[in-house]
Amino acid sequence: MKYVIIGNSAAAVGCIEGIRKNDQSGEILLISDEKHATYSRPLISYWLKGKVVDKNMYYRPEDFYEKNGVKTMLGVKVTGLDAKKKTLTLSDGSKVDYENLLVGTGSRPFVPPIEGVNECKNAVTFLNWDSAIQLKSMINENSRVIVLGAGLIGLKVAEGLAGHVGTLTVVEMASHLMPSVLDDKGAAILEKHITKCGVNFIFGDSAAKAGTNELTLSSGKKLPFDVLVVAAGVRPNVELVKEAGGKVGRGIVTDDEMRTTLDGVYAAGDCVEAVDTVTGDRHIMALLPNAYMQGEAAGINMAGGKADTPKVMPMNAIGFFGLPLVSAGSYDGEEFVEEGEESYKKLVFRDNKLLGYILISDVDRAGIYTALIREKIDLKGVDIALLKKQPQLMLFGKSDRKRILAGGGIAQ
Amino acid sequence: MPVNYIQPEFVVLRNSDRCIKCRVCERQCSNEVHTYDADGDVMLADESKCVDCQRCVTLCPTHALSIEENQNKLRQNGNWSNQLIYEAYRQAESGAVLLSAMGNPREYPVYWDKILLNASQVTNPSIDPIREPMETRVILGSKPSKLEFNEDGSLKTKLSPSLKLNIPIMFSAMSYGSISKNAHESLARAATELGTYYNTGEGGLHEDFYQYGPNTIIQVASGRFGVHPGFLNAGAAIEIKMGQGAKPGLGGHLPGAKVKEDVSRTRMIPLGTDALSPYPHHDIYSIEDLRQLIFSLKEATRYTKPVFVKIAAVHNVAAIASGIARSGADAIVIDGFRGGTGAAPTRIRDNVGIPIELALAAVDQRLRDEGIRNNVSVIVAGSIRCSSDAVKAIALGADAIYIGTAALLALGCHLCRDCHSGKCNWGIATQRADLVKRLNPEVGYKRLVNIVQAWNHEIKEMMGGMGINAIDSLRGNRLMLRGIGLNEKELEILGIKHAGE
Amino acid sequence: MKKVYAIEEYCLACHLCEYYCGFSHSGESSIVKAYKKGAPQARIQVEEGSEVNFALNCRHCDNPICVKSCITGALTRDEDGVIRVNQEKCVGCWTCVMSCPYGAVVRGHGDKSVALKCDLCTESGDTPACVQGCPNRALVFEDRGDAK
């Protein structure tokens, strides 16, 4: 069996480890347009900050490929996919054939149509290590930096830059930060904390025109800058599959086994739209844990095994300037909210189940909440008062607790 | 705050160089001696509540604690001891009878410590128990004076029901109520594993423990708590409790605080009520009456189970035992004045009854003299503290011994003698669920098995040294005993010679 | 493999397991020194209820979601089945805290703002410190086979 993997991040690594659970000998070829050995994308802001040094950027040990019998082609881009002939065309013109293929092409930064942005030499995006290296080379302690977008990436860039630059301003179109994750109350707590750490915010405004050293906002306001970081979101890299005739919605469409509509072609990670285990909706849930689990499932399945459908859902564990934030699930239901000076807890219930949560500051044992959501636990036999107080296993009844304490999992 | 005449008995010494403020002491003290003061980041102690149970000392991970006697002394007085004075204060305050727990702690003579054992030299060589068989099995019950056989060789004599003990040590009566369910479970499981018996005490038998029936002695006392046909038939033997060494002449006393739901159900009494057994059995005013009860119980159990009669060692114990030996009982249990209790009036415990050593010697001699020694087995209780005490007891004439306090020590008891408060920090003499769980029966029963097996090894060693290879040859073998520092009268009662004779 | 199991019927919530765990991972030779110098954190946590208590540490899952979720590769399931965290690699993003269904990953405080978890004391001895230190055998270290 010959496996080819496009991509070199969590989905790819998950796929390799999945394949090797079932097939110790099959040939694996990994092709990536990045020259680095597999590294952790989420760490680039930590690297920028200086908290993570080069050697700790790597997602797997140095001997990972060798131990798993993986051949790599790094710095090579796959430019074409012929699903009928089962061949790939590479940027160097060569062709590679496969029996099973994983498309783990990830995503790319979305650059909104801002006048002059493409010509602006000091405008960058922030998604991979190289972009972080580039950004680092552009800044000094006096740099005036504007970040477009107060989503996850935008805020992480800001954190990475804080203390290394002169001024930091984040411009966000929505009325508060992290609009896709947080409600306004949670966002306000986070904003207060981040502001204290030297980051300025402008909400409800967006970039209209990027000059050489001046950004004009839609409101007409003009902001001088030395470096402009565009962090306005990402778009999945679906073209390869789309052009080969595979079904693509918001992302590459896969079934429960991570197969695309093309024979022998699987997909996983940020390029894929998957079924949200909480809501049943299909959308892109671009998160490292999801990518790994999807990649692993694809790997197991392509090697002839039978993987459980990855239970993916939106979730985030992220901290800014030492204030941790964890969230998971979705938020259309009955709310329970507890607010503190620098803490926030929101639990959302529907149909006697926990549907989602947001925790700021005290995130200890949040995984118990996550599991209640992921496994759709009926809260009938659960002590709701304890559940609201804090995540704990005491909230389960005796027999469930016995099973759980023995390591039998939360699922009833 | 009103003036309190009574000073704390103990002081809590906390070595602050070692204390890490983990607060284990605070969490573990049911008397609420220790508290953590967050304001001052310091551990505090209210010593007036301390009973010196040593729980905190034992669990402290840094050995930062010790409990010591309060050195504060009232003016010395050879007549009025500090204790007597404080007791007077206490009673002046409360107007109540003083209550105590566990055995008489006062410094009366301990005859075990004034008796020495023999060993073989040159002639009648000793026997090595590691290399040669050594019998410690005991049969308890009435023995026929002679055996008759049928022509075909089968036994004609009808034998009385009996108990077979692999080891001549049983666990004495401690009621479910006075001690916890986990303590009972530990005793029951240990008795089963050891091939011996434990005794329910007068609190009935919890439904969970019927499974240990073959190793259970059922007790019927004056309160008749928890007594019903199922209970009588659940065990291997029945013991009628006429008296108890710690409080001769009195009935059992279980404070209402210990009568929780399970105890109330098992005892068949209302929740939270004091369980006060009457002083006498109201249907027993003579040996004849006792005989009636014995045979009622035998009848109720279809003559399948031996019936024991337990009495406290009192002044005329030999005459009483003689009556009991003629009443149809299969064994007499004699409980000495140092026997334990979960609660007894202090004055009674400390002043009533006689030492078990003297009582045993007197009873055994009397029954022999009257030719009725085989009618009954003699079991002794009341502070047999170690295997050499047991060997001496058997040589003085006992068939088997009961251990109570020693068993509790194995379970973790630290002899703080505060059982009657119901707040036992070791999970033994309590019914508070959070305290009961401190005694894990899995741990407890193994410790009981260990201590009894250890004693049995030692008994075999002592027997071997004497050149005796069966416990039956040791029983009543007073030639193996010598007194030391005893007067003529004491030697006469014990029926032993003085060392050197 | 042998794991640590709690027997809730006998847990006293004395928290000694936590203290012995913290000490065991403090690198100090004396428990007094360990706690006088700082506040070594435990990898085992006692849950106290009105009637029931129990201690819980990592279940060392066969199919560990924390390892799969770890963004840095700091969490690994090693050949002996023990799930360990490489503290040098961990950045304290708490994705594992978000993922572990048992709530068994502990957030390190202070300077060591990294994930802490039970490693079954494989570096320091045969029997984990929590099990050794439990005064009532409410924690046992045993192989229950493939008990899921």
Quick: pLDDT tens for B420-449: 999 999 999 999 999 999 999 999 999 999
Does CATH number 3.30.70.20 belong to domain B10-96? yes
The first and second tokens of residue A31, run together, are 């092709």
**Domain match, C35 and C73 both:** no
Task: Look up the CATH architecture of domain B124-145+160-478.
Answer: Alpha-Beta Barrel (3.20)
Look up residue A63 and give its DSSP letter: T
Chain C residues close to A361, C-beta within 8 Å? none
Contact partners of A by the rule of 3+ C-beta pairs under 8 A?
Answer: C
Number of folded domains that form chain C:
2
Question: Any residues with CB less than 8 A from the CB of B371 and at least 6 apart, and which?
Answer: none
Segment A116-141, tens digit of pLDDT:
999 999 999 999 999 999 999 999 99
Query: Is B442 close to C133, i.e. CB distance below 8 A?
Result: no
Query: B16, B20, B28: best mutation site toward chain C, by most C Cβ within 10 Å?
Result: B20
- Domain CATH code at residue C106: 3.30.70.20
Query: Is C101 close to A58, i.e. CB distance below 8 A?
Result: no
**Tens of each residue's pLDDT in chain A, 412 residues:** 899 999 999 999 999 999 999 999 999 999 999 999 999 999 999 999 999 999 999 999 999 999 999 999 999 999 999 999 999 999 999 999 999 999 999 999 999 999 999 999 999 999 999 999 999 999 999 999 999 999 999 999 999 999 999 999 999 999 999 998 999 999 999 999 999 999 999 999 999 999 989 999 999 999 999 999 999 999 999 999 999 999 999 999 999 999 999 999 999 999 999 999 999 999 999 999 999 999 999 999 999 999 999 999 999 999 899 999 999 999 999 999 999 989 999 999 999 999 999 999 999 999 999 999 999 999 998 999 999 999 999 999 999 999 999 988 888 7
Share of residues in chain C with pLDDT > 70 (%): 98
**Domain match, C105 and C138 both:** no
User: Residue C123 above 90 pLDDT?
Assistant: no
Look up residue A142 and give its DSSP letter: T
**Domain match, C40 and C92 both:** no
Q: Does residue C54 sit at the A interface (CB-CB below 8 Å)?
A: yes
Query: Is A371 close to C107, i.e. CB distance below 8 A?
Result: no
On whether residue A271 sits in a domain, the answer given is: yes
**Domain match, C30 and C10 both:** yes
In this structure, the strands spanning B377-381 and B331-335 are parallel
pLDDT in the model for residue A146: 97
Segment A323-356, tens digit of pLDDT:
999 999 999 999 999 999 899 999 999 999 999 9
Segment B162-212, tens digit of pLDDT:
999 999 999 999 999 999 999 999 999 999 999 999 999 998 999 999 999
**Domain match, C65 and C51 both:** no
**Domain match, A94 and A182 both:** no
Backbone phi, psi, residue A138, to 5° = -95, -15
Whole-complex ipTM: 0.96
Mean pLDDT for chain C overall: 93
On whether residue A223 sits in a domain, the answer given is: yes
For residue A410, the chain C residue with the least C-alpha distance is C101
**Domain match, C71 and C85 both:** yes
Question: Any residues with CB less than 8 A from the CB of A162 and at least 6 apart, and which?
Answer: A49, A168, A197, A198, A199, A321
Q: Does residue C109 sit at the A interface (CB-CB below 8 Å)?
A: no
Query: Is B438 close to C12, i.e. CB distance below 8 A?
Result: yes
**Domain match, A217 and A239 both:** no
Residue B71 burial (10 A CB sphere; 0-12, 13-18, 19+): exposed
Q: Does residue B28 sit at the C interface (CB-CB below 8 Å)?
A: yes
pLDDT in the model for residue C147: 47
Contact B59, B14 (CB under 8 A): no
Any idea how long chain C is? 148
Chain B residues close to C13, C-beta within 8 Å? 27
Query: Is A56 close to C72, i.e. CB distance below 8 A?
Result: yes
**Domain match, C28 and C70 both:** no
Residues of the domain holding C110: 61-117
Which helix (H) or strand (E) segment is C33 a member of? helix C31-37
pLDDT in the model for residue C148: 42
β partners of residue B163: B140
For residues A284 and A274, give the distance between their C-alpha atoms in angstroms, rounded to a whole number: 6
Mean pLDDT for chain A overall: 95
**Domain match, C1 and C47 both:** yes
Q: Which residues of chain B have pLDDT under 50?
A: none
Q: Which of A197-228 are b and which e, b meaning 16 or more Cβ less than 10 Å from the residue's Cβ?
A: eebebbbeebbbebeeeebbbeeeeebebbbb
pLDDT in the model for residue A38: 97
On whether residue A356 sits in a domain, the answer given is: yes
**Domain match, A73 and A62 both:** yes
Residues of the domain holding A139: 123-232
Return the domain boundaries, chain B.
10-96, 124-145+160-478
The first and second tokens of residue C119, run together, are 């490693």
Question: pTM of the prediction?
Answer: 0.92
Segment A44-102, tens digit of pLDDT:
999 999 999 999 999 999 999 999 999 999 999 999 999 999 999 999 999 999 999 99
Q: Does residue C50 sit at the B interface (CB-CB below 8 Å)?
A: no
**Domain match, A6 and A102 both:** yes
Contact partners of C by the rule of 3+ C-beta pairs under 8 A?
Answer: A, B
Segment B209-242, tens digit of pLDDT:
999 999 999 999 999 999 999 999 999 999 999 9
pLDDT in the model for residue C111: 76
Q: Does residue C12 sit at the B interface (CB-CB below 8 Å)?
A: yes
Scan residues 336-395 of B and list those with Cβ closer than 8 Å to C.
none
**Domain match, C49 and C66 both:** no
**Domain match, C52 and C6 both:** yes
Rounded to the nearest angstrom, the minimum Cα separation between B409 and chain C is: 16
Number of folded domains that form chain A:
3
Residue B199 burial (10 A CB sphere; 0-12, 13-18, 19+): buried
C-beta neighbour count of C78 within 10 angstroms:
11
Segment B354-364, tens digit of pLDDT:
999 999 999 99
Scan residues 55-74 of C and list those with Cβ closer than 8 Å to A.
56, 59-61, 65-66, 68-69, 71-73
Q: Does residue C92 sit at the A interface (CB-CB below 8 Å)?
A: yes
Nearest of C38, C57, C35 to residue C46 by alpha carbon: C57
